[in-house]
Amino acid sequence: MGEFELIRNYFAAAPCAQGGEGVALGIGDDCALLALPPGEQLAISTDTLVAGVHFPDVCDPFLLGQRALAVSASDLAAMGARPVAFTLALTLSQVDAEWLKAFTQGLNRMAQECSLRLVGGDTTRGPLSLTLTVFGAVPAGQALTRSGAREGDLLCVGGALGDGAGALSLVLNQRIAEPSVAEPLLARYWSPQPQLALGQALRGKATAALDISDGLLADCGHIAQASGVRLVVEHERLPLSEPLLKLLDLPSARQAAVSGGDDYVLAFTLPPEHLAGLLDTGWPVQVIGRVAHGSGVALVDADGQDITPSSRGYQHFRSEP
């Protein structure tokens, strides 16, 4: 099967590639055309996932398709953007019809859940990797960024932390657990749910935001640096799920929450006056700390003592000691 036949059979024919709101021209020409209403800005983000680095070399292609798009769409949530479209550049070692069928089914399911339309991409031969670019729309001047946190703001997250790291130990067969524990954790890993609606609800309220992909402390460091403030995370307020606490002891669960990564929930800073309104509306806002004068990120215990671990999260190209 040639490249163009592969694209035509498995991607151009997918339901998520049939156009929709904001897509003036999709797959079939040299470029796609996106049409945004007046007064909106285009939000763009690109992620590359490599076999053996971001996912196991051997894994379920359906689940991989879901995960690949979800982690990219999470960047749109972090900016408060409305999803519009995405492209996929897929590198394959060989053409496997069954693998491609399952992969596109998973990709399409997540695309429909996130209201994203496939508008183009590329295929090539080589070690398995996926590069996805997502496009979203946000009212001009209302995008959430990392640079607006102010002293006195609350530090919040959009849900439980550490489930992604806990699940990874199951994915890699480092741990085993009964289905009631394993299944919800594995669902968080293979099918993360981008907090798109929450991101849009935070427009005009949150002063800074991002999604947690590399670990709470590492990612909050980006807000601290961009905003010129210090973020203080309170150890006792970390939200931990019941399945994670059944898989790991409390110290290990907390370590997974602060440095494990792969959670894809939003972390954001919020003026205190906005908290009650968000909670009353039912948004899953968890206060875990505060914004203070200074720089960097600190993890503190119940007595306010600094207990920040040396390992704060995942980094590519980390220098070996």
Distance CA 219, CA 259 (A): 9
What is the per-residue pLDDT across 203-226, written as a single tens digit (0 to 9) for each? 999 999 999 999 999 999 999 999
Residues 6 or more apart whose CB falls under 8 angstroms from that of 143 comprise 41, 43, 79, 80, 81
Q: How far, CA to CA in Å, does 309 sit from each of 159, 217, 234? A: 22, 9, 13
What pLDDT, on a 0 to 100 scale, did the predictor assign at position 69? 97
Q: Are 313 and 216 in contact (CB under 8 A)?
A: yes
Q: What is the pLDDT of residue 79?
A: 98
Contact 208, 149 (CB under 8 A): yes
Closest of 167, 108, 146, 163 to residue 227, by C-alpha: 146
> What token pair was written down for 220?
């909050």
2 pLDDT band, cuts 50/70/90, is low
How does DSSP classify residue 123?
Answer: E
Residue whose pair of structure tokens reads 């909670």 in the numeric block: 279
Which domains are assigned to the chain? Answer: 3-139 (3.30.1330.10), 154-300 (3.90.650.10)
Using CA atoms, how far apart are residues 16 and 110, in angstroms rounded to an integer? 9
HEC string for 78-105: HCCCEEEEEEEEEEECCCCHHHHHHHHH
Residue 309: the pLDDT is 87
Q: Per-residue pLDDT for 264 more than 80?
A: yes
Mean of pLDDT over the chain:
92
How is residue 285 annotated by DSSP? -
User: What is this structure's pTM?
Assistant: 0.92
Alpha-carbon distance 198 to 7, whole Å?
A: 34
What is the phi/psi pair of residue 260, to 5°? -80, -35
State pLDDT tens for residues 90-143.
999 988 889 999 999 999 999 999 999 999 999 999 999 999 999 999 999 999
